[in-house]
Amino acid sequence: MAPEATARAVAAPHTEPIIRALGDYHQDKKEYPNALQLLQPDYLSGELEKRIRSVSEHGQRWVIYYNRINPQTYELSFNHAFHDVYYRNGKVTRANSNPFR
């Protein structure tokens, strides 16, 4: 698998629920939230901290960052020990994978 595809595959289970919740929030409110905490409990269930920051079974850390640029634009990033994926309004803008870092 190509490095970009690998990074996307690793990020997807973590980012897709958040991206979906952001889309639903935007559809209802006509803007993106100032913080991911505003997605709970109506748009995103579960403990937010576990969704955005964790350690894998192999001890590899990952974190998701959210930044609302303006009411109609947000950026989200998934940063893992070996994989980084960056999104703008739910679309991947950049992805890379480097198992040697």
DSSP letter, residue 82: S
Number of structural domains found in the chain: 1
Cα(53)–Cα(78) distance, rounded to whole angstroms? Answer: 10
pLDDT (tens digit per residue) in 29-54? 999 999 999 999 999 988 888 778 87
pLDDT (tens digit per residue) in 70-88? 999 999 999 987 889 999 9
Which residues span the domain enclosing 86?
3-97
**Mean of per-residue pLDDT scores for the chain:** 89
pLDDT given at position 57 = 66
Cα(83)–Cα(95) distance, rounded to whole angstroms? Answer: 8
